[in-house]
């Protein structure tokens, strides 16, 4: 039996986010073999899972107990997923040297083959009997943290490199014994859907070579003046600017360092909107994660050669120089 929780989708022009949270005054009872899964989008910017579970039948015994429960994520099939299994055991049951432990096994299933990643035995800050333990899995920057604990203090089990999942997946809880669930929380936010040009760089180059618009052309990173506490450049960008009829589109070509996997050539990096003043524009700019940076942004072009992007609220600016040749590349 599979119990699927409903998703709450929050959508806006730029952000598609998802969250679902269940907190039970009376525990949710799952029999052995049941599970609770949530569907999560691909291309996640933010990701956090929290499952709080207890096993009423858990008790001390000789050796390692078969009683366990499991959290899975990035599951695209029954043969492909990540997992952490929670189980218990005694090192020398009945002996004065005996020590009770909780075991956390982190592994990956790849086409049905198990790849062990980490095994930890814990004796502190976890419940070793019939009480609740929490498993928390969350993304921070480019890493995925896997933690477990009984109360507020959590033990770090492992830190994994975070890679974007190329397709929709599921995460969830598998009851490998009769369990009681106190909390299920799934928080996820997808990167905005990119706005793309359908041109190739060859077609773009041909168009720009025939353009008489002084703003259109190739622009390469020159320098910056930024408040490091407020803003960090996402890379040494190489850009193209093309008239869109109402202003100009700023097109990404290469040079991204942060979230490089999101930035394919011909993705829109920003827009220049005319203000009525010569060589002065209102600016729309998308950060490394594809979101609009802030309000009150503007851009100026000096001597048809220097493009300056200003972000007053972030106390920062970026400058780009006009390229002479199509195949110039930006150098830090």
Same domain, 275 and 181: no
For position 68, what pLDDT does the model report?
95
Q: Is the pLDDT of residue 125 over 60?
A: yes
DSSP code string of 218-244: EEEEEEEEE-TTT----EEEEEEEEE-
Number of domains in the chain: 2
pLDDT, tens digit, 9 for 90 and up, residues 204-227? 999 999 999 999 999 999 999 988
In a domain, 17, yes or no: yes
Q: How far apart are CA 36 and CA 184, in angstroms?
A: 9
Lay out the sheet containing 80-90: strands in order across: 2-4, 35-40, 169-175, 63-77, 80-90, 100-110, 113-122
Burial of 1 (0-12, 13-18, 19+ CB in 10 A): exposed
Residues 220 and 83 both lie in one domain: no
Residue 329 lies in a domain: no
pTM equals 0.71
86 belongs to a structural domain: yes
- pLDDT at position 9: 26
Higher pLDDT, 112 or 141: 112
One domain for residues 186 and 37 = yes
Least confident of 79-83, 153-157, 256-260: 256-260
Question: What CATH number does the domain containing 29 carry?
Answer: 2.60.120.200
Question: Which run of H or of E encompasses 211?
Answer: none
Q: How far apart are CA 226 and CA 231, in angstroms?
A: 6
Average of per-residue pLDDT across 251-277 = 93
**What is d(CA 86, CA 68) in angstroms, rounded to the nearest whole number?**
5
What pLDDT, in 10s, does the model give residues 170-183? 999 999 999 999 99
Give a yes or no: residue 331 inside a domain.
Answer: no
In this prediction, residues 141-149 reach a mean pLDDT of 91
* Average pLDDT of the chain to the nearest whole number: 88
- Inside any domain, residue 251: yes
Please check whether residue 196 lies inside any domain of the structure: no
For the stretch 7-60, pLDDT in tens is 322 222 223 457 888 999 999 999 999 999 999 988 888 899 999 999 999 999
Q: Are residues 32 and 173 in the same domain?
A: yes
Other CB atoms within 10 Å distance of the CB of residue 292 = 15
Domain span holding position 177: 2-190
pLDDT class of 94 with cuts at 50, 70, 90: confident
Distances (CA, A) of 233 to 87, 123, 289: 45, 44, 12
Classify residue 30: in a domain, yes or no.
Answer: yes
List, for residues 158-172, the tens digit of each pLDDT value. Answer: 999 987 787 899 999
Q: What is the helix (H) or strand (E) element at residue 267, kind and residue range?
A: none
Mean pLDDT of 308-326: 88
Distance in angstroms (rounded) separating the CA atoms of residues 170 and 41 = 8
Mean pLDDT, rounded, for 125-137: 96
* Same structural domain, 287 and 235: yes
Looking at the structure, do residues 185 and 218 belong to the same domain, yes or no? no
Nearest residue to 54 (alpha-carbon basis) of 129, 157, 154, 153: 129
159 and 61 part of one domain: yes
CA–CA separation, 25 and 72 (whole Å): 24
Q: Give the model's pLDDT for residue 226.
A: 86
Percent of the chain surpassing pLDDT 70: 92
Residue 295 has pLDDT above 50, yes or no: yes
Of 184, 164, 258, nearest in space to 35 by CA:
184
């Amino acid at each position: 039996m599979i119990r699927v929780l409903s998703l709450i989708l929050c959508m806006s022009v730029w952000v598609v986010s998802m969250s679902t949270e269940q907190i039970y005054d009376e525990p949710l009872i799952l029999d052995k073999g049941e599970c609770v899964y949530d569907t999560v989008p691909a291309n996640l910017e933010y990701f956090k899972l929290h499952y709080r579970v207890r096993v009423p039948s858990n008790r001390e015994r000789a050796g390692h107990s078969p009683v366990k429960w499991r959290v899975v994520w990035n599951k695209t099939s029954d043969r492909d997923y990540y997992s952490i299994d929670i189980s218990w055991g005694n090192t020398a049951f009945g002996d004065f040297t005996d020590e009770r432990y909780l075991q956390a096994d982190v592994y990956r299933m790849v086409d049905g083959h198990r790849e062990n990643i980490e095994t930890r035995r814990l004796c502190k800050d976890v419940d070793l009997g019939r009480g609740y333990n929490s498993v928390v899995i969350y993304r921070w920057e480019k890493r995925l943290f896997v933690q477990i604990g009984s109360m507020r203090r959590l033990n770090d089990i492992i830190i994994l490199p975070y890679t974007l999942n190329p397709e929709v997946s599921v995460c969830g809880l598998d009851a490998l014994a009769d369990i009681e669930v106190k909390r299920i929380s799934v928080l996820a936010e997808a990167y905005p859907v990119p706005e793309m040009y359908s041109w190739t760089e060859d077609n773009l180059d041909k168009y720009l070579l025939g353009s008489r618009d002084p703003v259109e052309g190739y622009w390469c990173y020159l320098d910056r003046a930024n408040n490091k506490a407020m803003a960090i450049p996402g890379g040494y960008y190489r850009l193209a600017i093309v008239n869109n009829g109402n202003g100009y589109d700023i097109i990404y070509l290469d040079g991204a360092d942060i979230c490089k996997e999101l930035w394919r050539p011909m993705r829109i990096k920003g827009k220049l909107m005319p203000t009525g003043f010569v060589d002065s524009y209102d600016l729309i700019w998308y950060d490394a994660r594809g979101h609009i940076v802030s309000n009150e942004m503007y851009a100026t072009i000096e001597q048809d050669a220097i493009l300056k992007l200003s972000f007053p609220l972030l106390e920062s600016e970026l400058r780009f120089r006009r390229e002479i040749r199509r195949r110039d590349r930006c150098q830090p």
